[in-house]
Each structure stands twice: as C-alpha cells, then as structure tokens.
Amino acid sequence: MTPHLHRAQPYALALFRIVAGLLFACHGAASIFGILGGAHGGGSIPAGTWPGWYAAVIQLIGGILVALGLGTRVAALVSSGSMAYAYFTVHQSHALLPIENGGESAAIFCWVFLLLVFTGPGAFSLDGLITARTPHRQNRDHSQEQNSPVAV
C-alpha cells in the first residue's frame, strides 16, 4: 500500500462506517415510523411484531451507534447477527442465492458489519474520543513520552 493510501485508511474506514450506519438506520426508521417509503413499500411494522419490528429496532439503534462510532464493535456484531438471521430465516427459504431471494441487502449488511467488528470504527468516532480522554490512557501516553528519547 502506498504511504498516501495508508495514511488515509482510518478516514476511509470512518466514511465507510458512517455511510453504512446511516443506511442501516434508514431501514429501521422506514420500518418503525413508516417514513422514507415505509416498510416494504409503505406503512410501518406494528410494534412488537416478531421478527420484523425487533429487527427494525436493531437497524435503527445499531445504525445510529455505528454511524456515531459509539460501541462500534458490539453494535456491529449485533447488527451483523440480525442480518444473518434475516437472511437465513426470511430469504434463503425462497432460493439459494441473494440475487434470487431478495436478500442482497441482508447479506451485504451482514458482511459490512462483520468487517467493522474486526476493523473497529476508524477515525471520527465517539469510541476514539472516549478512549483518548480516559485518564488511564492519558497517564500511559504521558509515561511513554517521558521514556522516549527526544531529539533536540
């Protein structure tokens, strides 16, 4: 990887995380509130309906958390799992491949969020902001500065 691309990696990952989170949250908002075209072409899913309403809550909350970079790995893991569940219980019974069974978005969201579990949030995340302001981290960083040689 070229040095320029390597330096840009955390920022590209952050944009990826933000866009994926917002798109996922839009799916949840459409299903719960009937906005943005509503659930499955119109309307909303009745509260408490299994599994659609619960999936929509995970989409809305998980998408917002991922977009903000707050609890990113946990939110991404729950979101990925919910999409795997949706794919295998709702879509796969219709046909094997996502293109045939309408499960493209469930499949891609599953893999997108699984990737974020392993990569973390990248730049511009509340997770990073919180970690940077943790006293333990500040003390550790300060002690490393004292132990490192400084060129004058």
Over range 77-105, report the average pLDDT: 94
Q: Residue 147: its pLDDT value, please?
A: 52
| Spatial CA neighbour of 62 closest among 13, 114, 21 | 21
- CA 94 vs. chain centroid, Å, equals 27
- CA 142 vs. chain centroid, Å, equals 32
User: Is residue 115 over pLDDT 60?
Assistant: yes
Number of other residues whose CB lies within 10 A of the CB of residue 65: 22
Phi, psi of 69 (to 5 degrees): 75, 35
* Average pLDDT value over all residues in the chain: 88
pLDDT digit string, tens, across residues 24-71: 999 999 999 988 887 776 788 889 988 989 999 999 999 999 999 999
Q: Residue 151: its pLDDT value, please?
A: 44
